[in-house]
């Protein structure tokens, strides 16, 4: 049998939406701006599986010069405990230095304890009599509320304070602060409070592939991109992993053809519509969910290289320059239209 060769590149998807910046993202961001003066530390959450693509330039503007901890959430979905995972984390830490960086799984007691200890040390250092106030920010569905709940449970043994969910946009408003560390006079620790915020999406996604990555990790609603397209992009990544084809071997032989895989899934799991027609959309969503739960491979979608962050930042500058030019052109056109209308 011929050796299976995975696709080297994913076909360009010209028709994909490249924006998902919603009303509550904009209002959440402007509310955050007004609150910053009463905040001591920012925890910025990013998704472990998209360390570059989940960087939001809006937060860079908002948080520049602020005391910031970067937390890469959902580590359990992208880390297999290999040496290469450790190397990747070292590179990411270097990107953010001197800001501290942590990697978490919200169900890992050790990971949550590390975050809690960080906040306690900051509280001792700041020694704010009114307590230390921490704002948690990040892209939609990155796991901000889950982190808050886990910290609250570990820190003050209190149950869930924030709603969480598998789709983005569960948190719509900045809620009141939640205590995660009690005041401890003996140890000289003032109380620590967290404030959860609504996820804020990037204002403009640079390319279709970045949109596919953000959709795959659940930052945009599943109704925005056709499930078969999204699943095809996942298949592209699965096939690139060592032994990736084994992840779907019960449904199909090694393939680059998404329909072939989905039809195999439909047959095996009974996802058939009227007249036995395979329900490929349902099969695609099922595979995507399995990957999001860590049952279809654990891997990172972005290439992590030492100069990766610097290249991404240059890209953002280029986009903002081209957007500024576009805006200027539109303004000139509007002015000349108005002038023309005034002369007739």
> Would you state the structure tokens that stand for residue 128, as one six-digit string?
């704010």
Does position 153 interact with ligand GTP (CB under 6 A)? The reply is: no
For residue 141, say whether it is annotated as part of any ligand binding site: yes
Does position 131 interact with ligand GTP (CB under 6 A)? The reply is: no
Q: What's the closest the beta carbon of residue 144 comes to ligand GTP, in angstroms?
A: 4
Which C-beta is closer to ligand GTP: that of 220 or that of 262?
Answer: 220
Count of helices and strands (H, E) across the chain:
10, 6
Choices 1-9, 125-133, 168-176, 276-284 (CB under 6 A): range interacting with ligand GTP: 168-176
> Would you state the structure tokens that stand for residue 140, as one six-digit string?
């939609």
Does position 164 interact with ligand GTP (CB under 6 A)? The reply is: yes
Does position 170 interact with ligand GTP (CB under 6 A)? The reply is: yes
Total Cβ atoms within 10 A of residue 191? 19
Write the CB contacts of 217 (distance below 8 Å, at least 6 apart in sequence).
Answer: 47, 49, 50, 54, 74, 141, 292, 301
Does position 144 interact with ligand GTP (CB under 6 A)? The reply is: yes
Length of the chain: 344
Choices 9-17, 163-171, 246-254, 306-314 (CB under 6 A): range interacting with ligand GTP: 163-171
Mind giving me the DSSP string for 266-327? HHHHT-B-GGG-B-HHHHHHHHHHHHHTTSS----SS---TTHHHHHHHHHHHHHHHHHHHH
What does the per-residue mask of binding to ligand GTP show for 68-107, with x meaning CB under 6 A?
-----xx-xx--------------------------xxx-
Q: What's the closest the beta carbon of residue 214 comes to ligand GTP, in angstroms?
A: 12
Q: Could you report how far apart the first and last alpha carbons of the chain are, in Å?
A: 74
For residue 144, say whether it is annotated as part of any ligand binding site: yes
Which C-beta is closer to ligand GTP: that of 141 or that of 280?
Answer: 141
Q: Single out the residue of 119, 146, 229, 239 in contact with ligand GTP (rule: CB under 6 A).
A: 146
Choices 4-12, 169-177, 204-212, 276-284 (CB under 6 A): range interacting with ligand GTP: 169-177
Does position 143 interact with ligand GTP (CB under 6 A)? The reply is: yes
Total Cβ atoms within 10 A of residue 167? 12
For residue 205, say whether it is annotated as part of any ligand binding site: no
Does position 199 interact with ligand GTP (CB under 6 A)? The reply is: yes
Residues that bind ligand GTP (rule: CB under 6 A) add up to a total of 24
In a 10 Å sphere around its CB, with 0-12 CB exposed, 13-18 middle and 19+ buried, how is residue 43 labelled? Answer: buried
> Would you state the structure tokens that stand for residue 310, as one six-digit string?
């610097």
For residue 146, say whether it is annotated as part of any ligand binding site: yes
Q: What's the closest the beta carbon of residue 197 comes to ligand GTP, in angstroms?
A: 7
Report whether 211 contacts 19 (CB < 8 A).
Answer: no
Annotated binding site for GTP: 141-146, 199
């Amino acid at each position: 049998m011929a050796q299976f060769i995975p696709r080297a590149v994913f076909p360009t998807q010209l028709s994909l939406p490249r924006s998902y910046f919603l009303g509550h993202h904009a209002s959440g961001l402007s509310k955050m701006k007004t609150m910053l003066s009463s905040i001591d530390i920012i925890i910025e959450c990013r998704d472990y599986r998209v360390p570059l693509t989940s960087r939001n330039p809006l937060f860079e503007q908002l948080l520049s010069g602020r005391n910031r901890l970067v937390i890469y959430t959902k580590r359990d979905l992208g880390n297999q405990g290999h040496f290469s995972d450790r190397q990747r984390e070292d590179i990411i830490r270097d990107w953010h230095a001197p800001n501290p960086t942590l990697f978490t799984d919200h169900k890992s007691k050790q990971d949550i304890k590390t975050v809690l200890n960080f906040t306690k040390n900051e509280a001792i250092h700041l020694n704010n009599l009114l307590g230390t106030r921490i704002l948690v920010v990040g892209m939609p569905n990155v796991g901000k509320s889950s982190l808050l709940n886990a910290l609250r449970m570990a820190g003050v043994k209190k149950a869930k304070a924030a709603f969480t969910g598998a789709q983005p946009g569960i948190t719509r408003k900045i809620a009141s602060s939640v205590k995660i560390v009690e005041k401890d006079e003996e140890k000289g620790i003032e109380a620590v409070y967290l404030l959860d915020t609504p996820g804020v999406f990037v204002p403009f996604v640079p390319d279709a592939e970045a949109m596919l990555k953000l959709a795959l990790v659940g930052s945009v609603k599943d109704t925005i991109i056709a499930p078969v397209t999204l699943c095809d992009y996942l298949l592209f990544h699965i096939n690139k992993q060592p032994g990736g084809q084994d992840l779907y071997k019960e449904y199909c032989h090694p393939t680059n053809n998404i329909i072939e895989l989905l039809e195999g899934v439909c047959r095996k799991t009974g996802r058939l519509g009227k007249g036995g027609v395979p329900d490929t959309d349902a099969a695609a969503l099922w595979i995507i969910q399995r990957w999001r739960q860590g049952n279809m491979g654990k891997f990172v979608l972005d290439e992590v290289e030492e100069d990766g962050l610097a290249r991404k930042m240059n890209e953002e500058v280029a986009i903002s320059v081209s957007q500024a030019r576009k805006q200027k052109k539109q303004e000139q056109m509007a002015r000349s239209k108005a002038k023309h209308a005034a002369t007739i």
